Amino acid sequence: MDTVIEFKNVTYSYPLTDVPAIKDMSFAIERGKFYGVIGENGAGKTTLCALIRGFAPSFYQGTLQGQVLVEGKPTTDFGPGELSLKIGYVFQNPFNQISGVKDTLFEEVAFGLENFGVPVDEIERRVTEVMKLTDIWQLAEKNPFELSGGQQQRVALASIIVLKPDILVIDEPTSQLDPEGTEKVFKIIEMLKAEKKTIILVEHKVDLIAEYADEVMVLRNGKLIRFGDKQEVLSDMSLLDEGVQLPQMAILGNKLRQAGVPLDTIPVTEAQADEVIGRAMQKGRA
C-alpha cells in the first residue's frame, strides 16, 4: 500500500480547552483514493482536515500528541508554505479563503499560481480552463465579494484545483449549492481522482459519497468510529443511532429486509438498489 498520509495515535486540543477535538486517532490514507468523511457536526471533521494540512497545530496552536505524517514526514517538520504545495485545502466557509487583495475573480483564482511563480501565459491558460470547469467563467470580471454563497464556494474550489496539488482536502464544498451544482462538484472530484489525486472530502450529502467515494471515515466525538470500504460502512444501520445519516438506498434496503423482502446485499447507491431490488422482484414474479 502506498501510504500518503498517516495518523499515529493523534490527540489534538485547541488552545484554552480541556476537551480534545481529536482523540487517539490512527489510520492510513492510500495514494489515489477518494475518502468521504462523515459524521455529526462537532465530531471533529474540520479539525481532522486542519491536522492533515498542518494548520493544526502550526496556525491554530493548541497541543498535538502523536504524529501526523505526510509522505512519511511529520507535518510539524515541514517549513512554512511547504505543505501548501502538496496539499490543496478548500475551506468550509469560502469567505475564509478569498484573499481580499484581488479585484476580479480571474485574479483571485490566479493568486496561488502567481505566488508559486508560474509563467504568465501558463497562469492564463490554467485559470481559464479551471474557471470554465467550475462554471464561474462568466463571472471572471466580478469582484470576489459580490458573489452569492454558492458562487463563492465554486471560487474556493477553483482556486485550489488550479494549483494541481497531489492531495486535496475539501471541507463541505457543496453546502450552499443547488442539486445540479452539487452533482457537478462531485463530477469534478471524480475527474481529479482519475488524475490519481488523493481526495479527502467532508460532506453531509451521504448519497453522493456512496456513489463517488472509495472509502468512508466516520467520526464521532473526536474519534474515528468506522473506517473502510463504503459499501460496508454505509450499510451499517447502527450508525443512524450515532447521529450519522446513511444513504436513502441503504435505509430503504434495510426496511425492505425488515419487511421480509430477501435482498442479497444492502444497496448504498441507486444503481446498486436498482439491481439488487430488481433481482428480488424478478424472483418474486418467477
Partner 1 sequence: MAYIQIKDASYAYPGGFLAVDDINIEIEKGENVAIVGQNGAGKTTTVKMLNALQRPTKGEVLIGEMNTKDHTTAQVSRVVGYVFQNPDDQIFHATVIGEVEFGPKTLGLSDEQIKKQVDYALKITGMAKFRDENPYNLPLSVRKFVTIAAIIAMDTEVMIFDEPTAGQDLEGNRRLGQILKTLRERGKTLITISHDMEFVCENFDRVIVMADKKVVASGTPRDIFWNFDVLEKARLKQPYVSRLCRALGLDGELLYMDEAVQAIREKCLG
Q: Which residues bind partner 1 (CB under 8 A)?
A: 39-42, 92-93, 95, 148-151, 172, 175-182, 204, 207, 240, 243-245, 247-249, 251-252, 255-256, 259-262, 270, 273-274, 277-278, 280-281, 283-285
Minimum CB distance to partner 1, residue 258 (Å): 8
Task: Specify whether the CB–CB gap between 201 and 35 falls below 8 A.
Answer: yes
Task: Give the residue from 158, 86, 153 showing the smallest Cα distance to 126.
Answer: 158
Minimum CB distance to partner 1, residue 183 (Å): 8
Is 44 or 112 the residue whose CB approaches partner 1 more closely? Answer: 44
Is 119 or 285 the residue whose CB approaches partner 1 more closely? Answer: 285
Minimum CB distance to partner 1, residue 244 (Å): 6
Q: Which residue has the cell 467520526?
A: 219
Task: Give the residue from 223, 213, 267, 272 showing the smallest Cα distance to 244.
Answer: 223
| Pairing of β 3-13 and β 63-70 | antiparallel
Minimum CB distance to partner 1, residue 92 (Å): 7
Asked whether the CA dihedral 202, 208, 213, 215 is positive or negative, the reply is positive
| Cβ partners under 8 Å of residue 145, min gap 6 | 98, 100
